[in-house]
Chains A and B, each alone.
Chain A
Amino acid sequence: MPYHPMMIQPMRDEVTRLGVKELTTVAEVDAVFGDHHGTALVFVNSVCGCAAGMARPALAKAMQHAVKPDVSYTVFAGGDVDATARARSYFSDFQPSSPCFMLIKDGEMAQMIHRHEIEGRNADMVAGALIAAFDAHCGVTA
């Protein structure tokens, strides 16, 4: 059952104010995942403070890095259940995890930063992992 919208709105806002586009419906997910070229970051946002409480500030820090994905999206697990499931369905080899970051390159999963790589770490450490992923997969290629 989804959480009450009023409860999770501040957590959505914390991400969308970074310029990350929120995908709330299956149709929106299909529109951007169906035939995607280039690099995209998908942040699976969630309520749990154990990990998401660090993931969102980490995302804010990482988005200041010079090298970034072409586009950034977010879905909210526990909020937009169908959209989240649809986004995950594109990468069915990977187990559902929230929060998590999915870095996609030309429609393929380039790197996933799972919940277990977020929880127990501070925002700087998680941001460092994100930035390393950006540098590895989003840089200019010769």
Chain B
Amino acid sequence: MMHHENRGELHGITVVMTGISGKTYMGRFHEETPRGVAMRDLGVHDPAVSEHDLATWVGRARKFGVPVEHRMLLVPADEVGVCVRLAEWAPV
């Protein structure tokens, strides 16, 4: 088993994080630091440019897997909003 340092209960979990900007980040939660939340293997939904609405985008990820656009990304602390497990995400 890979040994993970104590990075919190969401470490390694696939999450959907709402950004203050309106973007949504979906991927594996790595760790939260004062600078923000580091995520791995993630996709980003931007309502201004994305092909699908948010519910469709998440629904497709549930069926086909997370569309990886970035191997790692730090979501800045002032962008971090609500974060839930992908398995538990529901449209607002």
A contact set with B: CB distance below 8 Å: 11, 47-53, 93-97, 100, 112, 114-117, 119-120
B17 at the interface (CB under 8 A from A): no
**CB pair A112 B12 closer than 8 Å:** no
Main secondary structure of the interface of A (DSSP, over half): loop
Cβ B13 vs Cβ A119 within 8 A: yes
The answer to whether B87 and A120 touch across the interface, beta carbons within 8 angstroms, is yes
Judging by beta carbons under 8 Å apart, are B65 and A95 in contact?
A: yes
Which residues of the other chain, B, contact A117 by a CB distance below 8 angstroms?
A: 87
Cβ of B55 under 8 Å from chain A: no
Question: What is the number of residues of chain B that contact chain A, defined by CB distance less than 8 Å?
Answer: 19
Residues in B lying within 8 Å of A, measured CB to CB: 1-4, 11-14, 61-68, 85-87
Query: Is there an interface contact between B85 and A120, defined as CB atoms closer than 8 Å?
Result: yes
Q: Is the CB of B12 within 8 A of A97?
A: no
Q: Which residues of A contact B87 (CB under 8 A)?
A: 116-117, 120
Q: Which residues of B contact A100 (CB under 8 A)?
A: 65
Smallest Cβ distance from B23 to chain A, in angstroms?
19
Q: Taking A95-B67, A95-B68 as contacts, is the C-beta distance between A115 and B1 under 8 angstroms? A: no
- B residues less than 8 Å from A112 (CB atoms): 63-65
Determine whether the beta carbon of B12 is less than 8 Å from that of A116: no
